[in-house]
């Protein structure tokens, strides 16, 4: 197993700092050594105190690791002071593999995590030796004096930071506005935009975990862009699997990918079991002309191949509804888009089923006391995915994710009802309520 080192502060609530780093390295498959720079007393709502360790203690920790372990990558997080940053830069000049610098200046709760001189030391000491630096918009603004507020200023700040010496810069766009969470990777004279759906709400520890995931992929000999792309997908799953640890901001779950992979086979079994019930429940009045499908997504799914559905759909036959093929990942793009869009607003929404639109079916949904929202295809902008745009519009109009989203169709598009839920069992329960009212 490759070895990597995190040099960071300790987060007493375990959601960020070196605790998050260790989980992130483990999720990628890299052993994590650690050097503690500061002990913070914090939780999901506030930082109450910061105790920077003596320089000699930090130096002893680094020396202990370097004299014994061959490192494949290093990640730095909370350095807190200019003196600590200078010491770390001096020690890392020996050649320790790729270095990822996360220029931590504040916690997700807004508390400052640095003292006088840190920004200057990061610029003059850390930038010349690092492989990649990962500032968010406020950090990039502080480093360059450019107010990072959109894609144009993010690129401008990124290229200016490149002039400070790192091989690459990743401007994280979580603080920027827009439908997607877009980051900007700058290498040489190239700027690459990397976007995932924007999750609603704040999450504690995302910056720490993302930088550590990138360092871990670099330790596995992946290139910079490949490492960033793979880590971007992983951090999205960590965000969508976030955990309510305390009373404040939820914490990212860097180990989500491992847990998700372990559950994939069980999810197929759940869907197959639901399929037997669907064949009994669905009839000609519930089946759309184009057929139906139920899809079930892993937490934080981004693509159809992370969402299971029935191969060949659920179709109408003389004997009633029949599932054509087995449940498999990647079997439905249409229903998959519905889940991806809905889960941005509520990560718990991971299952969907499409039903035939009719006034009687819609009336049954209302009488079953299901929450309902809709969108109009006539208002759909050009160049967007109908399902992604429509689901977002309906949810925003409803003020939350409803049980049912419908539209009345358009040119060449069949009207449709979509039933949303957390699991196949949840969706089946709602379907039974609808059928009882028809």
How confident is the model over 236-251, as a mean pLDDT? Answer: 92
Q: Are residues 322 and 416 in the same domain?
A: yes
Average pLDDT for 300-329 = 91
Q: Is 207 a catalytic residue?
A: yes
**For residues 130 and 90, what is the distance between their CA atoms, to the nearest angstrom?**
12
What residues make up the domain containing 388?
265-436
User: In this structure, are residues 337 and 295 in contact, taking their beta carbons and an 8 Å threshold?
Assistant: no
The SS3 assignment for 391 reads: helix
Task: For residues 186 and 281, state if they share a domain.
Answer: no
Strands 351-356 and 294-297, by their bridges, are antiparallel
What is the C-alpha separation between 438 and 432, in angstroms, rounded? 10
Q: In this structure, are residues 386 and 393 in contact, taking their beta carbons and an 8 Å threshold?
A: no
The reply to whether 120 falls in a domain is yes
Kindly report the pTM of this predicted structure.
0.85
Instruction: Determine how β-strand 416-421 pairs with β-strand 404-407.
Output: antiparallel
Question: What CATH number should be reported for the domain holding residue 385?
Answer: 3.40.225.10
Active-site pick, 23, 75, 91, 172 = 172
Identify the domain boundary among 224, 254, 284. 254
Residues 105 and 54 in one domain: yes
Query: Could you say which of 254, 289, 304 is where a domain stops?
Result: 254
User: What percentage of the chain reaches a pLDDT higher than 70?
Assistant: 99
Residue 123: DSSP 8-state: I
> Which pLDDT score, from 0 to 100, does residue 198 have?
85
In the chain, DSSP finds a helix count (H) and a strand count (E) of: 13, 18
Report d(CA 127, CA 124) in Å as an integer: 6
Query: Which of residues 205, 234, 254 is at a domain's end?
Result: 254
> Nearest Cα to 51, choosing from 35, 34, 36, 61?
36
| Whether residue 373 is found in the same domain as residue 270 | yes
Same domain for 313 and 358, yes or no, is yes
Q: Looking at 134, 203, 421, 430, which residue is catalytic?
A: 203
The tens digit of pLDDT for each residue in 331-375 reads: 999 899 999 999 999 999 999 999 999 999 999 999 999 999 999
Query: Is residue 172 among the annotated active site residues?
Result: yes
Point out the least confidently predicted range of 50-64, 77-91, 194-208. 194-208
Q: What is the mean pLDDT of the chain?
A: 93
Catalytic-residue membership of 158: no
Say yes or no: 218 and 316 in one domain: no
- Check if the beta carbon of residue 240 is closer than 8 Å to that of residue 199: yes
Instruction: Please say whether the dihedral angle defined by the alpha carbons of residues 16, 21, 23 and 28, taken in this order, is positive or negative.
Output: positive
Q: Active-site residue 153, yes or no? A: no
**What is the distance in angstroms between the CA of the first residue and the CA of the last residue of the chain?**
59
Model confidence at 100: pLDDT above 80: yes
Same domain, 148 and 288: no
Residue 259 lies in a domain: no
217 and 281 co-located in one domain: no
205 has catalytic annotation: yes
List pLDDT tens digits, range 107-145. Answer: 766 666 788 899 999 999 999 999 999 999 999 999 999
Q: Verify that 208 and 85 share a domain, yes or no.
A: yes
Domain tally for the chain?
2
What is residue 109's predicted lDDT score, i.e. its pLDDT? Answer: 64
pLDDT level of residue 4 (50, 70, 90 thresholds):
very high
């Amino acid at each position: 197993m490759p070895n990597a080192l995190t040099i960071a502060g300790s987060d007493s609530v375990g959601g960020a700092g070196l605790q998050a780093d260790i989980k992130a390295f483990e999720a990628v498959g890299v052993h994590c050594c650690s050097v503690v720079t500061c002990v913070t007393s914090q939780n999901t709502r506030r930082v109450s105190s910061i105790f920077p360790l003596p320089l000699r203690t930090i130096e002893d920790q680094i020396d202990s690791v370097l004299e014994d372990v061959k490192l494949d990558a290093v990640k730095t997080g909370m350095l807190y002071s200019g003196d600590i940053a200078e010491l770390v830069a001096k020690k890392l000049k020996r050649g320790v593999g790729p270095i990822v610098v996360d220029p931590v200046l504040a916690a997700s709760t807004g508390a400052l995590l640095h003292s006088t001189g840190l920004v200057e030391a990061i610029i003059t000491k850390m930038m010349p030796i690092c492989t990649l630096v990962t500032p968010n918009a406020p950090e990039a603004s502080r480093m360059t004096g450019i107010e990072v507020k959109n894609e144009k200023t993010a690129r401008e700040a990124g290229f200016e930071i490149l002039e400070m010496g790192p091989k690459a810069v990743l401007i994280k766009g979580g603080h920027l506005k827009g439908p997607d969470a877009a980051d900007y990777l700058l290498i040489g004279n190239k700027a690459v935009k990397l976007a995932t759906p924007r999750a609603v709400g704040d999450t504690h520890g995302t910056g720490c975990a993302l930088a550590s995931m990138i360092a871990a992929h670099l330790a596995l000999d992946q290139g910079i862009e490949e490492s960033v792309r793979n880590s971007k997908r992983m951090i999205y799953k960590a965000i969508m699997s976030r955990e309510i640890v305390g009373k404040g901001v939820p914490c990212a779950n860097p180990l989500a990918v491992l847990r998700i992979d372990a559950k994939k086979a069980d999810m197929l079994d759940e869907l197959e079991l639901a399929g037997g019930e669907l064949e009994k429940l669905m009839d000609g009045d519930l089946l759309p002309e184009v057929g139906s499908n139920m899809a079930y997504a892993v937490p934080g799914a981004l693509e159809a191949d992370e969402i299971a559905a029935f191969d060949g759909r659920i179709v109408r036959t003389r004997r009633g509804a029949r599932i054509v093929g087995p449940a498999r990942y990647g079997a439905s793009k249409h229903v998959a888009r519905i889940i991806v869009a809905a889960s941005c607003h509520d990560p718990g929404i991971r299952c969907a089923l499409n039903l035939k639109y009719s006034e009687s079916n819609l009336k049954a949904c209302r009488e079953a006391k299901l929450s309902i929202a809709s969108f109009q295809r006539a208002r759909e902008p050009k160049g967007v995915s109908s399902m992604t745009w429509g689901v977002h519009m309906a949810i925003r109009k409803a003020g939350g994710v409803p049980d049912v989203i419908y539209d009345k169709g358009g040119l060449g598009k069949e009207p449709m009802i979509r039933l949303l839920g957390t699991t196949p069992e949840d969706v089946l329960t709602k379907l039974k309520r609808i059928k009882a009212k028809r």
